[in-house]
Chain A
Amino acid sequence: MRYLPSRWLSIVTAATCVAALVVACGGGDSRSRKSIRGRAPEAASTGSQGGGAQASGVKTIDPANSGTITGVVRWAGAAIKPIALDLSGNPDCARVAKETVYDETLVVNADDTVCNALVSIDTADVYAPPAEPAIVDQVGCKYVPHVFALMAGQSLKIKSSDATLHNVHYIPLGDVNQEDNFAMPAPGVRERVFESNDWIKFKCDVHPWMVAWCAVRTHPFFAVTGTDGKFTLNNVPAGTHKLVLKHESLGEQSVSITVEVGKVATQEFTLKK
């Protein structure tokens, strides 16, 4: 038997390693934490005129040239009785939850307005994110707030105030931001930043009722309705905009609205099942 030159040995070895790496990275962008899972069909319907990231130039808010949009989201369906959750299967939660936890997929206020609806304008313009972070907390085995919005590039502080394990599992429905899933076994804070327009579902898999929805926008013209069902968008550039309402379980509505400088434009939405 003759010996193959050792050169071959090194070449073969190197080739194996390279091949392995290529295969490993071929399955997906190697540094990304993206999954190849299917996407829900309604994914990324907002920001459809191209993600903000591609738009040229960062705009700044010009109060002299803008107006305000306000309004209220009304409920027209049958009366909704809040569904209290039985936490006895999760004694830890029962312990940390100071008050009864209700199902939050549809929260109708006492005055028949709808809570937790996101209202925003649809634009491809990009504005600079604020320096102060947005905050979402896990407290009493709930995400608080249940629906929140922040700007692309703005830091999000994900807090846990509970002395029990939560895992933060966020699933962006758009294509750019990356899914992630990490545990928070004790009170603490993690920070994340999202890159582009999105509608992101936050879950705690240990406590399946723990869900929050996060809207990411490249601009600051958004609001989430509270216990009065009202929303206000300040400093909206004058002109005609598409005003979009989004609700986690009731879907999306949009209207065209014209904003005049220094004036307040009002818009009412009505939702039902």
Chain B
Amino acid sequence: MQVRPDGFDVTWKWWLPPAHSSFGDDVDLLFYWIFWITMLTFVGVEGLMLYFCFKYRRNPARKTIYTKGSHSLEVAWTVIPAVILVALGVASAKTWATTKDPANPSFPQEFQTTVKIIAEQFAWKVTYPGNDKEFGTDDDFTETNILNVPFEPTNADGEVITEENVRVLLSSKDVIHSLFIPVLRVKQDAVPGFLGNVWFDCQRATYAGPDGKHLTADSKYSEDGRTLVDWEESYEIACAELCGLGHSQMRMQLKAVPRADWEAWVKVKSDAAKARAAGG
């Protein structure tokens, strides 16, 4: 284990990061299927090749096999992979539809939270609809690189207790960016001139109370509502589409917190925005 002076553990990591969204495990499951299929193929093919290289190295005493091919083999090694690959494709269609296709029934029908993210070089401007949950009103407020959402509580069996689907209306005002949330298995390009529609749910809060559960709403935000002071942990969001010289620094913090906390935070922010709008 190796820890940087600032306390971060930089031990080598070899695998996928944890998945906290409801579809994250489905995505990972596909990975595991492909992983084992390709591993077997890999070992088989490379093993055979090495074996042939060894077995059939030049040896004038051995008779060379003269053959121009085999029809049945050709058919076999076309059809078998075809079946496996098409099966994989069909098996993936549902996950794809769940994550991306609003026309599909497995796409969520209802979104408890909606935010609008307009990407720009090199920051994410997140607009929250405020107390009234309507965009385009005085109590909307916009934060830079701060995506706070309610988390989706689940029981011990992983079943959802209350749905907390978050919809992100995603666009860009200059070049193409891409919203990449590794731990939620979310990635969607923010395309200028086009309002994208991404959704996710986050089933693990970014903090836990002393009892490992949720804290009361008022304990978590500071006096002036600027910062969720104690919500220290956060998930990192990166930009995944080259957008210019600051591409690598286009980072956002995602905090998933209990709904009560989240609403309290929204209220403070939203009230302040409204007051500012009224004050001229």
Instruction: List residues of A whose CB falls within 8 A of some B CB.
Output: 77-78, 83-91, 165, 167, 181-183, 205-209, 273
CA distance A85 to B141 in the complex (A): 13
Q: Is B95 an interface residue (CB 8 A)?
A: no
B144-A209 in contact (CB<8A)? yes
Q: Give me 11 other A-B pairs in contact (C-beta within 8 A), A78-B279, A89-B145, A90-B251 excluded.
A: A83-B276, A85-B226, A86-B143, A86-B226, A87-B227, A88-B227, A89-B124, A90-B144, A206-B250, A207-B144, A208-B125
Q: Which residue of B lies closest to A185 (CB)?
A: B249
Partner among A85, A87, A167 whose Cβ is within 8 Å of the Cβ of B122: A167
Distance in angstroms from A79 CB to nearest chain B CB is 9
Q: Is B19 an interface residue (CB 8 A)?
A: no
Most buried by A among B123, B227, B249: B249
B280-A273 in contact (CB<8A)? yes
Partner among A77, A86, A205 whose Cβ is within 8 Å of the Cβ of B227: A86
A207-B226 in contact (CB<8A)? no
In the complex, chain A residues whose CB is within 8 Å of the CB of B245:
167, 181-183
CA distance A84 to B276 in the complex (A): 13
In the complex, chain B residues whose CB is within 8 Å of the CB of A182:
245
Q: Is B74 an interface residue (CB 8 A)?
A: no
If A205-B121, A207-B123, A208-B120 touch, whether A89 touches B143 (CB-CB below 8 Å) is: yes
CA distance A90 to B231 in the complex (A): 14
Partner among B122, B143, B146, B234 whose Cβ is within 8 Å of the Cβ of A205: B122
In the complex, chain A residues whose CB is within 8 Å of the CB of B197:
none
If A84-B224, A86-B226, A205-B122 touch, whether A167 touches B246 (CB-CB below 8 Å) is: yes
B228-A88 in contact (CB<8A)? yes
CA distance A223 to B222 in the complex (A): 39
Which residues, 60 to 111 on B, are CB-close (under 8 Å) to A? none
CA distance A206 to B121 in the complex (A): 7
B123-A208 in contact (CB<8A)? yes
Interface residues in B, total, Cβ within 8 A: 28
Distance in angstroms from A188 CB to nearest chain B CB is 15
B146-A206 in contact (CB<8A)? no
In the complex, chain B residues whose CB is within 8 Å of the CB of A85:
226
Distance in angstroms from A168 CB to nearest chain B CB is 10
Q: Is B253 an interface residue (CB 8 A)?
A: yes
CA distance A165 to B145 in the complex (A): 15
- Contacts between the two chains (Cβ within 8 Å), count: 59
B249-A165 in contact (CB<8A)? yes
CA distance A273 to B246 in the complex (A): 35
A89-B246 in contact (CB<8A)? no
In the complex, chain A residues whose CB is within 8 Å of the CB of B190:
none
If A78-B279, A89-B143, A89-B144 touch, whether A84 touches B246 (CB-CB below 8 Å) is: no
A84-B226 in contact (CB<8A)? yes
In the complex, chain B residues whose CB is within 8 Å of the CB of A77:
280
In the complex, chain B residues whose CB is within 8 Å of the CB of A208:
120, 123, 125, 144
**5 A-B pairs whose Cβ atoms sit less than 8 Å apart in the complex:** A86-B226, A90-B145, A167-B245, A206-B123, A206-B250
B146-A88 in contact (CB<8A)? yes
> CB-CB contacts of B101-145 with A at 8 A, as 1s and 0s?
000000000000000000011111100000000000000000111
CA distance A84 to B249 in the complex (A): 23
Distance in angstroms from A170 CB to nearest chain B CB is 14
Q: Which residue of A lies closest to B269 (CB)?
A: A86
Q: Which residue of B lies closest to A208 (CB)?
A: B123
Q: Is B252 an interface residue (CB 8 A)?
A: yes
If A84-B224, A89-B143, A206-B122 touch, whether A78 touches B280 (CB-CB below 8 Å) is: yes
In the complex, chain B residues whose CB is within 8 Å of the CB of A83:
276
B252-A89 in contact (CB<8A)? yes
CA distance A264 to B171 in the complex (A): 56
CA distance A90 to B249 in the complex (A): 10
Distance in angstroms from B250 CB to nearest chain A CB is 7
In the complex, chain B residues whose CB is within 8 Å of the CB of A88:
146, 227-228, 231, 234, 253
In the complex, chain B residues whose CB is within 8 Å of the CB of A87:
227
A205-B228 in contact (CB<8A)? no
In the complex, chain B residues whose CB is within 8 Å of the CB of A205:
120-123, 244, 246
CA distance A90 to B147 in the complex (A): 12
In the complex, chain A residues whose CB is within 8 Å of the CB of B248:
165
In the complex, chain A residues whose CB is within 8 Å of the CB of B249:
165, 206
CA distance A259 to B101 in the complex (A): 72
Distance in angstroms from A20 CB to nearest chain B CB is 26
Most buried by B among A85, A89, A181, A209: A89
Q: Which residue of A lies closest to B243 (CB)?
A: A205
In the complex, chain A residues whose CB is within 8 Å of the CB of B244:
205
In the complex, chain B residues whose CB is within 8 Å of the CB of A91:
253
Q: Which residue of B lies closest to A203 (CB)?
A: B121
CA distance A181 to B276 in the complex (A): 33
A183-B120 in contact (CB<8A)? no
CA distance A206 to B249 in the complex (A): 7
In the complex, chain A residues whose CB is within 8 Å of the CB of B124:
89
Which residues, 220 to 248 on B, are CB-close (under 8 Å) to A? 224, 226-228, 231, 234, 244-246, 248
Q: Which 9 residue pairs are nearest across A and B when measured between Cβ atoms?
A: A89-B145, A89-B146, A206-B249, A206-B246, A205-B122, A206-B122, A205-B121, A165-B249, A208-B123
